[in-house]
Structure 1
């Protein structure tokens, strides 16, 4: 069955899967820094592009195969195969885009993603109708599903390890291998069986599309995937604006290991003390307000409080924030702006429009894309992005500014 495939269409199918993977993962990489409606839009866009890439790759691969000349495509199973794929991919991306990456999140997401790829394939294949039947080798079915899950796991691991350009490209290639490997392994175990005269009346009926019509649809979707890939390469205008706003941040951020106990240059930092903070503008004559020594977090049975010294980072989540204490994330009723106003600026620094970190808990800083990345210590270390406009300030607080004679 595998012999006789059109090599050019096979190559095109793999390329489409990789381009769709890159576009989807590049949108997923922005979800953590977005809030509210933007998160949902990015998640939906990522799921759609990944699903379109999978679905388009599948049908380009089908057109590359030597299928019977009288075959037509039933519209309902074909549409259902896409909807299954979009739903399963969306759920798996949701799991990996929230919280911190861990095996408990990545493994179920990879299993779900691999299952979605396989489900789409077999539902779509059985949308083929004609004077034939389709049989599958059970061993090849199991092998194809295993390939999809393992390659999906590898792609997610690469992507979540570090979301820069090189890792993003590697994860997209792994994703393309997951889809293509599953598809062509399944095709290798698929066989067309001519129907007997008695079985002709069992041929599936319904609204159908010819191979020419499907070719037009697939060509349009190939263009959509390629256009989405090219748009994903366009620089983010907000990052460019940040760079213009702070020309001093153009200096290349040095990669360095910072001891968790290392204190930044300047006045000594007392993590557990309560500090006086200047009164806001217009508040002349008012007593200075106290920096918050404890932060509220929501639990199943009410509101709890944790010491500010235990906080590693805060991440914007719509009108609220999520506080990471080095072990897990918990919901805080403050907005990111309110948290910045409440916290002691000598202990905390806003490194991104959506992130605040405790500077004394930084244990690693490195370059990532046109910004930087820092890692916070704790039983479950986690990384936080640094915008380009904040690199110089972060390096100064960590004592990494180069000194010249």
Structure 2
């Protein structure tokens, strides 16, 4: 498969695919828990870096191959291959980044990603031009597509298991195996037939030499490396400790933009862990013993998440979405059930559709008639606070204005 290939360029192509996969999957992991406007930007960025990783790996592999002298690359098929790759990757990522993906969506995403990689490869190969004719072994074409789909499925499954840390790197490595594995398998099934005596293949359309392609590939390698390094830069919001005094996080101090009628707080506790008041009020379900874990649904069954890892709970029809600081997952409980079972000393119902873990609040500010709070984690997210709950939230954060002596 690698006979005649430059081993250094082959190794570089694998590294490029891994870096592109890590950057793209890392951006996809941040889609959950961000505002809708940011969804589009993150999804576009993820698709862009994954597509660049696939496309650049492909052409680094072409530069590593022992192609006949005088081979050029037609610009139109080359550009089309990149556009196809970007579109297919974007749709595939959309399937697994919005909501809790079902098995059908995971499989569909993997099939689409694998087939998209194959289409990009063969469209790019169609862009090769020179004094030769190109043929492909059908069995190797089928094998290359199967390899791409299988490894893409493994990468997506590992990515969905937990979108961070070792799992994210393993997903990137699987992606880095999927793309070169498909490429070099397909290359093993490609045959270039020399032209017959006296014949000459006429090149139609704008073409680029290997030297020009090398410059473009080099530039894209820098883009991928820069994206990878930027993805490693920690988010400053993650460095805010959960127990930080929220007064320092509110512009203008505790009273800026969030005036609440003054009350006597001499007996009011200032720590969220020292106020075991009920989350709800009249008409709320009776308080049950706090549960240490919550059930969440995954593609392979029901998992359980420690209550200490929960940042927020959001109502979603008859169910809820639980955010663990990385992503949202479906919980079979209703918002009322979750409210009744979570520790009232740690969680507050800040809105009819939202419950928040107060120890993870890093920012609070007024917005419209209500307010918003931001919660920490690898993917910080914001939750609305209703006007009626502002006083409760401020009291739990120690922000209630005291009477002057």
TM-score, normalised with respect to structure 1: 0.66
For 1:246, the equivalent position in structure 2 comes to 244
In the alignment, the residues of structure 1 paired with residue 320 and residue 207 of structure 2 have an alpha-carbon distance, to the nearest angstrom, of: 57
- After superposition, residues 168-317 of structure 1 pair within 5 angstroms as 168-196=168-196, 200=200, 203-240=202-239, 242-243=240-241, 246=244, 266=276, 273-274=283-284, 310-313=318-321
3-state DSSP of counterpart to 1:312: strand
Contact 1:352 1:386 survives alignment (8 Å): no
Contact 2:244 2:362 survives alignment (8 Å): no
TM-score, normalised with respect to structure 2: 0.66
In the alignment, the residues of structure 1 paired with residue 231 and residue 315 of structure 2 have an alpha-carbon distance, to the nearest angstrom, of: 38
CA change 1:118–1:272 in 2 (3 A) is: farther
For 2:128, the equivalent position in structure 1 comes to 128
Q: Could you list the structure 1 runs, at least 4 aligned residues long, displaced by more than 6 angstroms after superposition.
A: 268-272, 350-354
**Deviations 1:330-361, CA, capped at 9 Å, x for gaps:** xxxxxxxxx9643398x76476799xxxxxxx
Contact 1:311 1:323 survives alignment (8 Å): no
For 1:291, the equivalent position in structure 2 comes to none
In the TM superposition, residue 269 of structure 1 has moved relative to its aligned partner by: 7.6
Q: Greater relative contact order: 1 or 2 (C-alpha under 8 angstroms, separation 6 or more)?
A: 2
In the alignment, the residues of structure 1 paired with residue 100 and residue 7 of structure 2 have an alpha-carbon distance, to the nearest angstrom, of: 41
Q: Indicate the RMSD between aligned Cα atoms, in angstroms.
A: 3.5
| Gapped regions of structure 1 (runs ≥ 5) | 249-263, 276-294, 298-305, 316-321, 330-338, 355-369, 373-384, 388-405
The number of residues matched between the two structures is: 298
Query: Is 2:41 aligned against 1:31?
Result: no
Query: Is 2:44 aligned against 1:44?
Result: yes
3-state DSSP of counterpart to 2:160: helix
**Deviations 1:74-109, CA, capped at 9 Å, x for gaps:** 000000000000000000001100111321111000
In the alignment, the residues of structure 1 paired with residue 156 and residue 334 of structure 2 have an alpha-carbon distance, to the nearest angstrom, of: 21
In the alignment, the residues of structure 1 paired with residue 56 and residue 46 of structure 2 have an alpha-carbon distance, to the nearest angstrom, of: 15
- After superposition, residues 84-95 of structure 1 pair within 5 angstroms as 84-95=84-95
In the TM superposition, residue 371 of structure 1 has moved relative to its aligned partner by: 4.0
Query: Is 2:105 aligned against 1:105?
Result: yes
In the alignment, the residues of structure 1 paired with residue 228 and residue 197 of structure 2 have an alpha-carbon distance, to the nearest angstrom, of: 49
In the alignment, the residues of structure 1 paired with residue 20 and residue 332 of structure 2 have an alpha-carbon distance, to the nearest angstrom, of: 35
**Deviations 1:193-221, CA, capped at 9 Å, x for gaps:** 112258635x4411000000000000111
Contact 2:95 2:101 survives alignment (8 Å): no
**Deviations 1:245-264, CA, capped at 9 Å, x for gaps:** 7289xxxxxxxxxxxxxxx9
For 1:335, the equivalent position in structure 2 comes to none
CA change 1:190–1:109 in 2 (3 A) is: same
CA change 1:212–1:269 in 2 (3 A) is: closer
3-state DSSP of counterpart to 2:193: strand
In the alignment, the residues of structure 1 paired with residue 215 and residue 48 of structure 2 have an alpha-carbon distance, to the nearest angstrom, of: 19
In the alignment, the residues of structure 2 paired with residue 327 and residue 244 of structure 1 have an alpha-carbon distance, to the nearest angstrom, of: 26
For 1:326, the equivalent position in structure 2 comes to 332
CA change 1:35–1:269 in 2 (3 A) is: closer
